[in-house]
């Protein structure tokens, strides 16, 4: 997962990302797209309740944890069909 994809958030990708962002409302996370993957990453420390919600939402949406990048990822195409 190298270069960041910028500016491609119009149309269906933008709507998809807004839906994912709504799932994490109230949590300090960043949702982005990179190399065909949607990713979710913490942007600030979380208390236990917030962290539990964060991990539960990631799992429910079918994201997997990428230890190398310390973020949750899912192929964009899989979210598109969900």
In-domain check, residue 5? no
The predicted pLDDT at position 37 comes to 95
Count of CA atoms in the C-beta half-sphere (13 A) of 24: 23
In-domain check, residue 1? no
The predicted pLDDT at position 35 comes to 92
The predicted pLDDT at position 6 comes to 45
Partnered with residue 66 across adjacent β-strands are 71
In-domain check, residue 2? no
Residue-wise pLDDT tens digits, 3-58: 444 444 568 888 889 999 999 999 999 999 999 999 999 999 999 999 999 999 99
Total structural domains in the chain?
A: 1
Residue-wise pLDDT tens digits, 64-80: 999 999 999 999 989 87
Domain range enclosing 63: 11-81
Closest listed residue to residue 29, CA positions, set 7, 47, 54: 54
Q: What is the C-alpha separation between 48 and 64, in angstroms, rounded?
A: 20
Whether the model pTM is above 0.85: no
- Which CA distances in Å does 63 have to 7, 11, 22, 36, 78? 23, 22, 15, 14, 10
């Amino acid at each position: 997962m190298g270069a960041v994809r910028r500016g491609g958030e119009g149309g269906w990708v933008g709507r998809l990302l807004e839906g994912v962002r709504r799932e994490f409302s109230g949590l300090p996370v960043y949702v982005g797209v990179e190399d065909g993957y949607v990713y979710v990453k913490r942007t600030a420390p979380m208390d236990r309740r917030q962290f539990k919600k964060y991990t539960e939402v990631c799992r429910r949406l079918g994201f997997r944890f990428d230890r190398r990048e310390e973020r949750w990822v899912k192929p964009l195409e899989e979210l598109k069909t969900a």
